[in-house]
Structure 1
């Protein structure tokens, strides 16, 4: 049997120490010094990745359990931070005081890892008196491995305000020198990342305004850093040594408009996207989580549209500008308050370039990511891509519906609690796709996929944090689904509390929201027996049905044509039953308006009022769809049973419907097809017969 090498024995000892430390942590027992030593040694960069993964797991578990021991105390977070610092600070300081590079690197690398797992305790240690000075002694003449470890530690510390203040000037000078050297790309990438985070952090520290434009010299420096990092990635076949730092640096830089434009190049993006491995059985996705997240963040920044500001938000933006002394900006609009390169036309171009460069393949891989943060970015990117209708077909072909559905299902959901607000973004993206094409084209021939989509769209309408736009698009998507089949319509109608919310939205001031809710109700009336009955579509009728028909009558008289079409279409279907006809008739007798409203569908010059009558406006051809609906409604009402002919004739005369149908049949209202005219002739004949019966002629 072959004997183990010294390195293998050392790795085995480290693993045994990690196992022992994990057991101690789970039983809330204090660690032994040799176990902490194994934990520090596990993060040495030269060790294999599986050992690093295990070490991160042990460190995370240890920190969580240590903090849980102080739960219930008022200063829980502060007490937990101090407790962890007392445990880790002595071995870190001890390692940094050693003479061997391997020991120093172990201490530096462990603190780097601690920043990623528990930044509070790492920051506490980094800010300790004398610690930054101790780091400064390490960079006098360091070896390349030590230079890389220290550069990465400074990059981590630069992300935290309190730590930035502790970094000495000589360390910043050293980082600048390392960013200019060309001998070691990994050190150079880490140094550039540290400088980027320092620069952006210091700018943020000096201003409370997160959206303050970068000074020209800083923006120019960002462009240079971005070019250097991309050159390093593109010019090296093996980027594993520095890819994580380079991608993270580009993530920070990609919020700068000029850098967005430079990155939005097919060659550049394809190079970046190749860093994301294809999803195969041989690839363990979580090993690439950091790089994957960075690539997604870059894509999200490139494709992000500027926020649509409300009137109040625009005023607040102007006040912020005034507060900075830029009084001339008070007259600027939304376009001028943001960078010209963030205008919609540039964002649309960047989105198309991203699709051409293969971002859809990256999104397919990222859909299966374990990281919730990565899945959140997937939803954001899809929403930006489908904002442009021209991209939606390609997104559908690229598996967008499947990926979005999978992303949405990854969020926790229950009947008691609303879905997380993060889930609204991918649901909205899916709704945009569902609006564009027929349900069959979007979800395929499997009706089960359509049924599955009902739940997230309904949740988007009901969610307390949903915007008006999100509710509008979700209703449009459900309208399409409800039109596919009675099964889909019934599924929509049966979702708890959905119809109540849609009916409230029917009363919104916003025309498009009102239209979408009305069209959804119309399609549900057509496809769902439950909704048909709810709106008075039964023989007996009901008080609630009468009130809902009254609402449809009112919606049939609004200015927006699609809303009138939907509401009057629902009325035409409902009046096929005696109960609905009776409800309309009762409304007419009560307020003397219902017949006039329906009459205006045929002759828009008809005045709606208590006395009826017509206007003197010159008649013009109306909409054939509205005319057909109006004629059908009156035919149904006249054919309904158990309605008093005498009272009907009185109300018909009050609404001046004789004149309306006479004008229609004489062609005074325009020319219409045979179907409409035959139905109108049937109504006119019945009116004439009843009129002759009343007069005895």
Structure 2
């Protein structure tokens, strides 16, 4: 830049342009070119320049300071100090005299000066990890919001920034949730027809969405800090946390106030205050960071399933789909909060309340968000579990949707589901097998994985093994899938009978289980005896394995149980049919001695 250009820059009233150019000069190590002209500025321009520069390069800014910080106009002094408090390096400017000055200004009669002084003190104390003074700063904002009829745009911006810093401390977040007047002032920055707040709380000309996205971001950050749960920890992270706890490096107060019960109560309060309407507006923000924060708030609120009915009425599904539709490519881990929140809603919400007509078309639009969460490199096991469960519910809409789930993304959902069938994580196994159970009976693509695929026999063997899994839900899903497949294809029956000893072992275990599993086992047995009758008549080895397994004794003992158990009588005809077919296959149905 020429000397004249620099001179014009320094004297310019365009703060945004000045900030952008100083950023560029800093990137190119060219800030030295403005130093000489900077020193000749009047106090007003000097203060503005140094305030901007402190945000960009605090070290150079501090080295340039050659005027008394407290000799400027009050707002100019506060502006410089506020910028300085944004970095560790800037703390060099905060001596006892400066701190006393800030405390005195936080009791000023001017609302904006109170807010700016308080914000600066908050940032200073946060930089030094001083928690105790934060309570006093919080009280300042609570008292101010209780006594102030309205805030101007500039006041609101500082007020929200102060709240965003304060709320990052869990005990303060909890305290703020107990003061509806303060939250209502914050929410009034965004006008929404469904917010339970007076439209007079925030005097802005445009009563829909503020043009300054920093207001949206600060508000959404505050709400996210109040509503979010502590993130699930990996096994390694849990080990590190235990180590920190044993060495007293863990903040136990933060631990307490980020506990599940504390967060749940906070979220209930926030919902009662009326945060839902504002969230639906924030979901349309042009700011990616604001939308991510909004999704985080929704996820926190939705985690408590008792909140879901209220959120449904306040448009949570539309808002989440709005956020998801604007996600970047590729997704970052922070983007998954929206997908996870939608998955939680899908798992527990009846289709008639979840999807807009036509339901099939609407349900199909849910497939991509769950797939992206299922296969994302950064997805937590809980997120993968919920993606699978949500896809299970989507697939249950009908054959057309189930086929779309199976065939989507060149079969990538099916591939991921097969992988999770072999997971060491019990809940992932359960969710994947439940999805497969829903798909095989309604989707040709899924059905072919167990009949005509080159891995059909292996896939059938996996379902048979999972029918004897630890979790009852996994056993129900796997045996349910097999019962459907065996009833539809003799090929599947032949695959699971290929190892008759294993087949009998799993079958007998199911026959001794709860009534639902007994029903599935009998359906599998009946269909297999039907499909493989000729094979069993000719295969002495298979017939002998059945005879020696104790199956006949198990079935005959089961007759008495079913006759006396609720729902058992409905299953008895299948059992009797199976005994007849065993005899027709050459298996003796005499009870062994």
Q: What is the TM-score when the length of structure 1 is the normalising length?
A: 0.76
Indicate if the aligned counterparts of 1:92 and 1:108 stay in contact, CA closer than 8 A: no
Query: 1:400 — aligned with what?
Result: 316
Query: 1:199 — aligned with what?
Result: 125
Any gaps of 5 or more consecutive residues in structure 2?
194-203
Alignment of 1:33-432 (within 5 A): 33=4, 36-37=7-8, 40-43=11-14, 56=16, 58-59=17-18, 62=21, 77=27, 80=28, 82-83=29-30, 85-95=31-41, 98=42, 104-113=43-52, 119-121=55-57, 123-129=58-64, 131=65, 133-136=66-69, 139-140=70-71, 142=72, 146-181=73-108, 183-203=109-129, 214=130, 218-219=131-132, 221-240=133-152, 241-264=154-177, 265-278=179-192, 282=206, 285=209, 287-321=211-245, 323=247, 338-413=254-329, 418-432=330-344
Aligned counterpart in structure 1 of residue 523 of structure 2, from 628, 632, 635: 632
Query: 1:548 — aligned with what?
Result: 459
Higher relative contact order (CA 8 A, sep 6+): 2
- Of stretches 628-637 and 240-249 in structure 1, the one that deviates more from structure 2 is 240-249
Task: Give CA deviations for 1:621-643 in whole Å, capped at 9, x if unaligned.
Answer: x4221111111111111211653
- Secondary structure (helix, strand or coil) at the match of 1:287 reads coil
Q: 1:420 to 1:176 in 2, by over 3 A?
A: same
Offset at 1:564? 0.7
Query: 1:681 — aligned with what?
Result: 576
Offset at 1:306? 2.8
Aligned counterpart in structure 2 of residue 574 of structure 1, from 467, 481, 485: 485
Query: 2:200 — aligned with what?
Result: none
Task: Give CA deviations for 1:405-425 in whole Å, capped at 9, x if unaligned.
Answer: 111121123xxxx42222111
Aligned counterpart in structure 2 of residue 600 of structure 1, from 509, 519, 528: 509
Query: 2:388 — aligned with what?
Result: 475
Task: Give CA deviations for 1:464-521 in whole Å, capped at 9, x if unaligned.
Answer: 1111111111111111111111122112112332222222222222221211111011
- Of stretches 275-284 and 628-637 in structure 1, the one that deviates more from structure 2 is 275-284
**Partner Cα distance (1:187, 1:107) in 2:** 20
Offset at 1:32? 5.8
Q: What is the TM-score when the length of structure 2 is the normalising length?
A: 0.88
**Partner Cα distance (2:398, 2:276) in 1:** 31
**Partner Cα distance (1:568, 1:507) in 2:** 16
Answering whether residue 548 of structure 2 is matched by residue 654 of structure 1, we say yes
Instruction: Work out the number of aligned pairs and report it.
Output: 570
**Partner Cα distance (1:508, 1:498) in 2:** 15
Indicate if the aligned counterparts of 1:408 and 1:426 stay in contact, CA closer than 8 A: yes
- Secondary structure (helix, strand or coil) at the match of 2:76 reads helix
Offset at 1:667? 4.1
Task: Give CA deviations for 1:550-588 in whole Å, capped at 9, x if unaligned.
Answer: 000000111211111110111111112121111112132
Task: Give CA deviations for 1:349-408 in whole Å, capped at 9, x if unaligned.
Answer: 110111111211111111111111111101111111111111111122111111111111
Query: 1:616 — aligned with what?
Result: none
**Partner Cα distance (2:236, 2:457) in 1:** 40
Offset at 1:438? 2.7
Answering whether residue 426 of structure 2 is matched by residue 455 of structure 1, we say no
Offset at 1:687? 2.2
Indicate if the aligned counterparts of 2:285 and 2:291 stay in contact, CA closer than 8 A: yes
Q: 1:292 to 1:437 in 2, by over 3 A?
A: same
Q: 1:587 to 1:31 in 2, by over 3 A?
A: farther
**Partner Cα distance (1:41, 1:312) in 2:** 53
Aligned counterpart in structure 2 of residue 484 of structure 1, from 397, 412, 422: 397
Indicate if the aligned counterparts of 2:467 and 2:474 stay in contact, CA closer than 8 A: yes
**Partner Cα distance (2:209, 2:253) in 1:** 41
Task: Give CA deviations for 1:8-40 in whole Å, capped at 9, x if unaligned.
Answer: xxxxxxxxxxxxxxxxxxxxxx25636753674
Larger radius of gyration: 1
Any gaps of 5 or more consecutive residues in structure 1?
1-29, 44-54, 68-76, 99-103, 204-213, 605-621
Aligned counterpart in structure 1 of residue 419 of structure 2, from 500, 504, 518: 504
Offset at 1:317? 2.9
**Partner Cα distance (1:388, 1:668) in 2:** 40
Offset at 1:61? 5.2
Offset at 1:248? 1.3
**Partner Cα distance (1:660, 1:318) in 2:** 49
Q: 1:486 to 1:59 in 2, by over 3 A?
A: farther
